[in-house]
Homo-oligomer: A and B are copies of this chain.
């Protein structure tokens, strides 16, 4: 089987897709382990951090800024609420909206989550200079924009 030679164009050859998915899966595992003590899963921490940063915020706004389906958001928020980190309050001006706030426990756990995420980031960033990391982020942003037609605004 000798299909080892790369086509010259932008054909098959190596692709970012496989790296992206492997990195994603492994990061999920790492983050799950780091956040297990707080009973926050890999599907919830993004929302927790985003709420901390933009409180009060609706689920719709969260979904859009994180580029995550609204039903996924609903379920993640439900878990964070069940754990006592987030509180929902119906917007009195429009009862369709649920305004999300951190609870006291939420405010206490956020710095710990941030530290855990920084540990993961630091580990996965090893061997990459600040300049290279900037390039990486810039290119990932382009890929994401190509996929979503929007900017993603994490954190």
Contact = CB atoms under 8 A, between A and B. Distances in A.
Interface string A42-71: 000010000001110000000000111000
Contact of A17 (B22, B68, B117): B117
A3 interface: yes
Contacts of A137: 14, 16, 19
Given A18-B152, A141-B19, A146 B127 contact: yes
A95 interface: no
Contacts of A125: 10, 16, 143, 146
Most buried by B among A18, A68, A118: A18
A118 B11 contact: yes
Q: How large is the interface on A (under 10, 10 to 19, 20 to 34, 35 or more residues)?
A: 35 or more
Given A15-B121, A53-B1, A147 B10 contact: no
Most buried by B among A31, A66, A130, A137: A137
A27 B147 contact: yes
Interface of A: 1, 3, 10-28, 30-31, 46, 53-55, 66-68, 114, 117-118, 120-128, 130, 132-133, 135-137, 139-144, 146-148, 152, 154-155
